[in-house]
Structure 1
Amino acid sequence: MAWKIIFILLLLFSITLTLIRPTTAKVNPLFLSSTCDYSKGNYTKNSPYYSNLLHTFANLSSLSAFNTFSNFTSGSGEDATNKIYALYDCRLDLTLQTCQDCVKDAGIELLQSCPSKEAIAIYAECMLRYANRPIVAMMELTPPQIICGVGVTMADEGVLNRTIKPIFKGLIEEATSENSSRYFATGEGSYFEYQKVYCLVQCTPDISRDQCKMCLIKCLELYA
């Protein structure tokens, strides 16, 4: 049986759009990408910004043991240059233990690879983001992050696209409907015999329903 895996994630942290094979087995968090925004400045180790970042990641790691989404602000007073705004979001179909493992790994990854004052780490299981400006309850469509890993022929890819687009359109409507208590929906479909795709859409819960729908639609357009 052939399984195809695709990852499509649209940055900044309003949405995750993914095709994945579900699993209940314990696995290590799967790192996909990180983006370091040096246009907002950088920091050095042992600086106040670095200390605030360590404090922020420690608190987010603790929060992720109980919540799939949380935000945290570190630093106060007049020194706005060292203030940090951060948030994480985990997939709602995974356990809190998986969420915490992912948030911990994401914090380590960003500390090692991004000495910038704004950055984001994308994993298959979660997203972790920080900045020295407010980012909570804000929808941002740029810069986009698209990670695709598909081993299909051009002909098969056309069939795959025609299969998943209707699935995603339905999931977007489901996740953003007035009856939905959270911006999340999953589905699956088949293309050719014995070949399945599993689809998932999710927005961070700090944005509005309309913003979530807009973001998911934009993500699907980027993939299409």
Structure 2
Amino acid sequence: MKTILIIEDNQEIAELERDFLEAAGITAEIAETGTDGLDRALHQDYDLVLLDIMLPGLDGFEVCRRLRAEKDVPILMVSAKREDIDKIRGLGLGADDYIIKPFSPMELVARVKAHIARYERLTAGAQAANAAVIHCGDLTIETDKHRVFVGPKEVTLTHKEFELLVFLARNQGIVFNRERLFEKVWGYDAEGDTATVMVHINRIREKIEPDPSHPIYIETVWGAGYRMKEC
């Protein structure tokens, strides 16, 4: 059974989330402060962290930053304010996705399941299905080892950034709009906020492009979407 950590100071909301997740076969533990949540997330193994932004102790932004620096676990951030979403995008915290309160419990369950399933396929299924090395100029992607190199230097990507890069690299020259990438990489239909795709593209460019403002690997096709150059 999968186990996730809910970091949420509102006990009623946290217990409601836990009840719906457990009804779907997912064990959920609750931490009521950012400090406690970060400590548990760092020292225990969870399949996903559901992280509220407004928390006592450390806020969700700081928890996300510290957790992402240490572990590669799916992080789904929760906010009651749309203004916070701009901060998530702008800071590039490393969260894999976000959801705005109030939300449907069924949507929450669907997103949690999708992220866990995608992460499992990436970390466990890659060896069996796509144990290959992709080369493109100075860029090397070792899909079976979850490693990316620019020249001799290894760069660190989150699992969602890695999955997005691999998808584009395996479909070189093909243009995908944000909705299509959202569906393919995030694992559910494109009714969510596809600005998530743009944020991840920008973060990948910052890590692999010689000049992120003039990308040579991941190209923007204005009015159409993104494509990986043919190598």
| Shorter-normalised TM range | under 0.3
TM-score scaled by structure 1?
0.24
**Higher share of residues assigned helix:** 2
Instruction: Tell which has more relative contact order, 1 or 2 (C-alpha 8 A, sep 6+).
Output: 1
